[in-house]
Amino acid sequence: MQAKPNIILISADSLRANHLGCYGYSLPTSPNIDKFACDGNLFEHTFAPAIPTQPSHTTIFTGQHAITHGVVAHGGKAKLGRGTPFLPEILSGEGYTTCAVDTLFRERIWFGRGWEYIIDPSLHHVFYASVTQEELNDRAIRWMETVPKKPFFLFIHFWDVHYPYTPPDKMRGLFYKGGNPTDPENHALDEWWDHPVGAMARDTWLRTSNGLITDPNYVTALYDREIRYLDEGIAALSHALEKMGIAENTMIVLLADHGESMTDHRIFYDHYGLHDCVVHVPMIVRWPGGNLKAGTRFAPFRQLSDVAPTLLEAAGSELPDELDGKSFLPQLTGQEEPSGYDKVVGLESTWQSKYYLRTDRYKFILSRYPDLLGNPDRELFDLQADPGEDHNIAPEQPQLAAEMEMELEAFIAQKMEAAGRDEDPVRKEGPVAVEIWEQHRG
């Protein structure tokens, strides 16, 4: 067996953790991912330090918190510094053949760094996120069969679960308990039309042969069908690795960059707001030849910034000093006791400009700018009593809210100082998309 493992990093864009069976979902959206988790190691509490896609993937590839790398918004002005360590570049330097089956380089140029091969079947679509798992798998499998000089690092970025939710016809009928998806008297989605992404959905993928989809349960079913379709792709990829005889020494990390709000908190089928439905992400590792204990579930908090250091350690690479994340490889192999963070901090600056500080019991959310949903600048949730984060207890517990705010501000200041920043990147960037939202609302 070769000394260094092959590494496959799978990012399932917008895959909400608790819509997977292995994370407790009641509907059978993910039988193959559940089996994948039983064969591997599942992290129950992984959080995105930044959302949505561009900030989160920048964290995944740099191992840095977004305050450190500075990319805090999707479509923002900040660019990743050229000297920032970048996972595929480092692995390429370690002798890995690197390949991204991905579209991200079309959004921001730094996502093209370090790849010897970039394969982009989305070029056959007008909208790149319409590319399917079958198209991506087809290219990824053919590449593995023919190209790499071992070892290889392959990144596959699946868009199926991201809106627009247009699952293949074979998924019709799944996960919808009945009713009338297009009842014109159902106005539960009307508020969504006030948002530019909602209006876009109304004008395109929510149209049906019977009229406009109006039932949110049906939209949620479409989302779940996309998960089920992705799940088939994960099975196909696993099968291909077995067939090629390389499954044993291939480390696979399956994760999401962020989750998805269904109708939670008046955020409809999108990924903003710093509630757990969006910042709690799945993370599962499988490496049959890595001496991992199959079926182990890790409860401690982890962050997506931990992925790059873990993969670098698995590749036998030295870890750059600039990384914020911590490798969890010694825990996977049983060399260390399970451990994690006692609290995590994350941010967003696209539709809202906010930070969160989350402990096992509480979450505190701090706004840098007023949000268009009219939420207060300071929110505190008791996750034990209120896991859905529906009841803001900041007015009832001002002392706790003040303590968590101080702790959050201290963390931000410490990270800024370490990164040599003199301005809070979220305050500097502001909610980059909110002006268009305001214009849309008229």
Partner 1 sequence: MQQEPQKHTAADAVLPEPPAKPDEPGKAPDASSEPEQMIRPEDEAVVVERLRELGYIE
* Positive/negative CA dihedral, 27, 31, 32, 33: positive
Q: Tell me the C-alpha distance between 270 and 354, whole Å.
A: 16
Asked if 21 interacts with partner 1 (CB under 8 A), we say: yes
Asked if 433 interacts with partner 1 (CB under 8 A), we say: yes
Interstrand relation of 152-158 and 117-119 (parallel, antiparallel or unpaired): unpaired
Among 216, 289, 320, 338, binds partner 1 (CB under 8 A): 338
CB of 292 to partner 1, least distance (A): 12
Q: Which is nearer to partner 1, 114 or 181 (CB)?
A: 181
CB of 172 to partner 1, least distance (A): 5
CB of 149 to partner 1, least distance (A): 33
Exposed/middle/buried for residue 155 (C-beta within 10 Å: 0-12, 13-18, 19+): buried
Q: How many CB atoms lie within 10 A of CB 240?
A: 18
Q: Which is nearer to partner 1, 190 or 203 (CB)?
A: 203
Q: Which is nearer to partner 1, 235 or 393 (CB)?
A: 235
CB of 171 to partner 1, least distance (A): 9
Q: Which is nearer to partner 1, 266 or 440 (CB)?
A: 440
Per-residue burial over 167-197, b if 16 or more Cβ lie within 10 Å, else e, is beeebeebbbeeeebbbeebeebeebbebeb
Among the listed ranges 311-319, 364-372, 388-396, 407-415, the one in contact with partner 1 (CB under 8 A) is 407-415
Among 8, 22, 141, 315, binds partner 1 (CB under 8 A): 22
Asked if 185 interacts with partner 1 (CB under 8 A), we say: no
Q: Tell me the C-alpha distance between 276 and 292, whole Å.
A: 28
Q: Tell me the C-alpha distance between 62 and 323, whole Å.
A: 7
Binders of partner 1 in range 109-168 (CB under 8 A): 125-127, 130, 164, 166
Asked if 227 interacts with partner 1 (CB under 8 A), we say: no
Asked if 420 interacts with partner 1 (CB under 8 A), we say: no
Asked if 330 interacts with partner 1 (CB under 8 A), we say: no
Among the listed ranges 56-64, 280-288, 330-338, 393-401, the one in contact with partner 1 (CB under 8 A) is 330-338
Q: Tell me the C-alpha distance between 66 and 333, whole Å.
A: 29
Binders of partner 1 in range 65-104 (CB under 8 A): 74-76
Going by C-alpha positions, the residue among 284, 310, 308 that lies closest to residue 296 is 284
Extract the tokens encoding 99: 């390949």
CB of 327 to partner 1, least distance (A): 10
Q: Tell me the C-alpha distance between 151 and 91, whole Å.
A: 10
Q: How many CB atoms lie within 10 A of CB 259?
A: 26
* Alpha-carbon separation of residue 406 from 162, 167, 303, 394, 402 (angstroms): 35, 45, 22, 14, 6
Asked if 205 interacts with partner 1 (CB under 8 A), we say: yes
Binders of partner 1 in range 346-405 (CB under 8 A): none
Among the listed ranges 4-12, 28-36, 90-98, 273-281, the one in contact with partner 1 (CB under 8 A) is 28-36
Asked if 28 interacts with partner 1 (CB under 8 A), we say: yes
Q: List the end-to-end C-alpha distance of the chain, in Å, as a whole number.
A: 63
Q: Which is nearer to partner 1, 182 or 375 (CB)?
A: 182
Asked if 291 interacts with partner 1 (CB under 8 A), we say: no
CB of 177 to partner 1, least distance (A): 7
Q: Which is nearer to partner 1, 22 or 254 (CB)?
A: 22
Sequence-ordered list of residues with C-beta below 8 angstroms from that of 101, at least 6 positions apart, any chain: 119, 120, 121, 136, 139, 140, 143, 154, 155, 156, 157
**What are the backbone angles phi and psi of residue 145, rounded to the nearest 5°?**
-70, -25
